Amino acid sequence: MLWIKNGIVVDPKNKINLEKMDIFVKNGKIVPESEIKKGDCKVIDASGKLVVAGGVDMHAHIAGGKINTGRTMRPEEMRVVRNIAGKFRASVGRVLLTAPAIGYEYAKMGYTTSFEAATPPVSSLHTHEELDSIPMIDKAALPVFGNWHLVFKCIEEKNIEKLKALVAWAIERSKGFGVKVVNPGGVEAWMYGGNVKNLDDQVPGFGVTPREIITWLIRANEELGLPHSVHLHCNNLGVPGNYQTTIESIKLAKGFKNEKRQVLHVTHVQFNAYSGSSWRDFGSGAAEIAKLVNSMDNVTIDMGQPIFGHATAMTGDAPFQFTLHKLLGARWSNKDTEVETGAGIVPIGYLPNNPVHAVQWAIGLELGLLTESDKVALTTDYPNGGPFTEYPYIMAMLMSKKMREGELKKVHQYVQKATNLPSIDVEKTLYEVIHMTRSLPARILGLENKGHLGIGADADIAIYNLNPLETDFSNGFEKVYKAFKVAEFTIKGGEVIVRNGELLKEVYGRTFWVDARKKVDLEVVMQDVKNYFQYYSLQLSNYGVEERWLKKPERLEVV
C-alpha cells in the first residue's frame, strides 16, 4: 500500500488541474482513501511536487525484426553505455537501445507504457520475444494489415464479414492489439519496384485502391468495436506535397462515428505534412492538416517530432526506405515479408543547419501547437524522428515560445519562409501537455486504466521534482526540461521502480492483446485463409503465437 501525500496533481482525464491532493494505492491500483490503512502504507511525501500518471507512448518501434536489424546494422549506436551489469542488466545504446535499455530509459523518464507500432503478423512471435525482454513497462504490438493479400481479397470481394473475421483472426494469432496500416497498397507495389501515389491508384495485381483499403479497414475495425481505431501511416510519406494525400486520407473518416474515441488515428504526421513540389520549394502543410483535424471530432494524430541528432528510419514503408537510401546514399536494409508486408531500415541524422531537416523539425512542432491538445499525441516515432528520451524537450518547447525562439535561432533560416513556426504564439499549458503524453494516448489506444489517476486506474504514477504552482513555464523551460527528463519517482503497478532517475527495482509489465473472435464467425474466412496459405512458406498450423508462450499476457476481450 502506498500513500502519495500532498502532491500537486494534474490528471486531465478526471479534470484535475493543479490540485493539492493525496493518492492511495493498493494491489497495483489507485483506490479511495477508505480502502487503505494509513498505518500500513509506505508514504511518499510529494509536497511541492508534480504528480501525474505514468507516460503512455502510443507509437514507437521498440521490438521486432526492424529495430533488431537496425541494431545489427549499426553497432556504432551501441557504444553508449547507460548501465553497467550488476543488480540491473547492462544497458547500452545511443538512439537505438537494447531491450533492457528501452525499459530502463522509459522508466527513468516516468513513462510506464509503450506500444510497438508495427509487426508483420507472420513475425509477431519475434516481436513478442523482444517485448518480453523489455523490463519496467506495459506494452503491446500493432500488426500491419494494409498490404496483405488476404485483406485485398476480402475488399475485392466487398465482403465485410470476411474482412472482420480476418482482422479478428489475425489479431488473435499475432497476439496483437489493433489494426495498423502502413502505406496501403504501396508496399505491395514495391514488390514490383513501384509505389502508389494517390488514393485512387490501383494496387498491382489487385482490384483495390488505397482509398478502399483504408475505408474498409475502418469499417471492419468499427464494426468489431476494437479498443483502438485504425492506426494509419499515410501514403506518400516523406514526399514533398504529401500533405494533400494526408488531408484526403483524414477525410476518409467522415461518416464513421465512435462514442468513446476517434475512428482514425493518423500517425507521425510530421512525415506526411509537406507542401511544395520538390525539396527545393519544400515547406509546411501542417497548418492545413491541423485545421482539418480540429474541424473533425473523429480523428486524432501524433506528431512524429524529429530531434536533431542521430536517428534510424525504420518502417513497414519499404519503398520509402529505398527512396531514402538513394537520397542519402546510406546503408539500406529491406525485408519483403511473405505475402503480407515489407519493411526497410536506413540510418539518418537530423541536422539543424540542413534546410529540409529544420523544416521537418518545425513541422512537428507546428502540428503539436496548432492542433487542439485533445487531438494530438506527443511522439518522435522512435527511432525514426529520434530518441523517445527527448520527449521532455518537446514538452518544454510546446509550453514555451521563448524556448522556441532560442531554438529557432540555431536552425537553418529557411524555416522562416517555409513554415509558420516563428509566428505561432501558442503556449500549451502543463495540463494540455500532460494530456498529450498520458490521458490522450491512453484514450486513443482504448486503455481505460492507463494515463490517469482516477479510482480503479493502474497505479502507474510519475512524480517530478517540479512545483507547477511556482514554475514559470514560458521562461523556466530549462528547469522544466530537466524535471521531466528524470522522474523523482516512477511507480509501476504500485511499486516504486525509479527514484531520482536511479533504477530501484526491476519489474516486468504486461503485454496487452485484443480478442475479438466472439464478434465474428471465423469460419466465413478460414477457407480463404487455408487456400491462400499455399503461398506462405510455412504451415497454417504453425502460424501465430499462443498466449502461454508469453511472459505476462493480458487478454482484452471485445464483446
Partner 1 sequence: MQDIVCTFCGSVCDDGEYDLKKKSVKKFCKLGSSKFAEKERIKAPMIDGKEVSYEEAIDKAVEILVNAKRPLLYGWASTANEAIRLGVILAEKLGGVYDQCASVCHAPGTLATIEEGVPGGTLGSVKNRADVVVFWGSNPMEAHPRHGMRYSISAKGLLVKDRKQRKVIVVDVRPTKTAKIADIFIQIKPGYDYAIFSALRAIISGNADAVPSEVGGVAKEKLIELADIMKNAKYGAILYGLGVTQSRGRDRNVENAIKLVQLLNRTTRWIIWPMRGHYNVVGAGEVPAWEVGYQYAIDFSRGYPRFSPAEFSAVEVLKRRDCDAALIVASDPVAHFPRIAVQHLKRIPVIQIDPYPNMTTLVAKIVIPSAVYGIEAEGTAYRMDCIPLRLKKIIETNYWTDEKILEEMLRRVEKFKG
Nearer to partner 1, 39 or 75 (CB): 75
- Which residue in the set 68, 215, 373, 490 belongs to the binding site for partner 1 (CB under 8 A)? 68
349 has which bridge partners? 310
Could you tell me which of 218, 144, 522, 520 has the C-alpha nearest to residue 530?
A: 522
Chain position carrying cell 536517428:
311
Using the rule CB under 8 A, is 123 a contact of partner 1?
yes
Does an H or E element contain 349, and which? strand 344-350
The torsion defined by the Cα of 216, 440, 513 and 337, in degrees rounded to 10, comes to 50
Do 485 and 464 touch, CB atoms closer than 8 A?
Answer: no
The interface region with partner 1, picked from 7-15, 82-90, 248-256, 273-281 by CB under 8 A, is 82-90
Nearer to partner 1, 195 or 298 (CB): 195
CA distances from 250 to 247, 267, 301 (A): 5, 11, 10
Give the Cα separation of 323 and 332 in Å (integer): 10
Q: Nearest approach, Cβ of 397 to partner 1 (angstroms)? A: 30
- Which residue in the set 161, 338, 374, 506 belongs to the binding site for partner 1 (CB under 8 A)? 338
Give the Cα separation of 525 and 172 in Å (integer): 14
Q: Nearest approach, Cβ of 551 to partner 1 (angstroms)? A: 11
Binding pattern for the stretch 507-546 against partner 1, x by CB under 8 A and - elsewhere? ---------------------------xxxxxx-xx---x
Nearer to partner 1, 76 or 521 (CB): 76
Q: Nearest approach, Cβ of 321 to partner 1 (angstroms)? A: 10
- Which residue in the set 291, 549, 554, 557 belongs to the binding site for partner 1 (CB under 8 A)? 549
Q: Nearest approach, Cβ of 553 to partner 1 (angstroms)? A: 15
Sequence-ordered list of residues with C-beta below 8 angstroms from that of 527, at least 6 positions apart, any chain: none
Q: CA Rg, the chain, in Å?
A: 22
Q: What cell does 243 get?
A: 500533405
Binding pattern for the stretch 191-230 against partner 1, x by CB under 8 A and - elsewhere? xxx-----------x-------------------------
Q: Nearest approach, Cβ of 536 to partner 1 (angstroms)? A: 6
**461 phi and psi, to 5 degrees?**
-135, 140
Could you tell me which of 418, 419, 451, 421 has the C-alpha nearest to residue 434?
A: 451
Q: Nearest approach, Cβ of 285 to partner 1 (angstroms)? A: 29
Does an H or E element contain 18, and which? strand 16-26
Strands 376-377 and 502-503: unpaired
Give the Cα separation of 217 and 208 in Å (integer): 12
**243 phi and psi, to 5 degrees?**
-60, -25
CA distances from 207 to 170, 179, 203, 210, 233 (A): 22, 21, 7, 11, 21
Binding pattern for the stretch 448-467 against partner 1, x by CB under 8 A and - elsewhere? --------------------
- Which residue in the set 18, 90, 455, 469 belongs to the binding site for partner 1 (CB under 8 A)? 90
The interface region with partner 1, picked from 118-126, 423-431, 477-485, 490-498 by CB under 8 A, is 118-126
Q: What cell does 154 get?
A: 476480402
Using the rule CB under 8 A, is 335 a contact of partner 1?
yes
Widest CA span in the chain? 69
Do 303 and 376 touch, CB atoms closer than 8 A?
Answer: yes
Nearer to partner 1, 334 or 354 (CB): 334
Does an H or E element contain 118, and which? strand 111-119
What SS3 state is found at 411? Answer: coil
CA distances from 530 to 120, 161, 284, 524, 542 (A): 19, 17, 47, 12, 12
Site for partner 1 in 124-183 (CB under 8 A): 125-126, 129-130, 133, 149
Binding pattern for the stretch 264-303 against partner 1, x by CB under 8 A and - elsewhere? ----------------------------------------
Using the rule CB under 8 A, is 78 a contact of partner 1?
yes
Could you tell me which of 428, 59, 65 has the C-alpha nearest to residue 271?
A: 59
Using the rule CB under 8 A, is 326 a contact of partner 1?
yes
- Which residue in the set 23, 30, 73, 498 belongs to the binding site for partner 1 (CB under 8 A)? 73
Using the rule CB under 8 A, is 4 a contact of partner 1?
no
Using the rule CB under 8 A, is 416 a contact of partner 1?
no
- Which residue in the set 7, 54, 55, 93 belongs to the binding site for partner 1 (CB under 8 A)? 93
- Which residue in the set 346, 466, 503, 550 belongs to the binding site for partner 1 (CB under 8 A)? 346
What SS3 state is found at 399? Answer: helix
- Which residue in the set 26, 71, 139, 173 belongs to the binding site for partner 1 (CB under 8 A)? 71
Using the rule CB under 8 A, is 502 a contact of partner 1?
no
Q: Nearest approach, Cβ of 324 to partner 1 (angstroms)? A: 11
- Which residue in the set 26, 49, 89, 435 belongs to the binding site for partner 1 (CB under 8 A)? 89
Binding interface with partner 1 (CB under 8 A): 63, 65, 67-69, 71-75, 77-78, 81, 83-86, 89-90, 92-93, 98-100, 122-123, 125-126, 129-130, 133, 149, 190-193, 205, 322, 325-326, 331-339, 342, 345-346, 534-539, 541-542, 546, 549
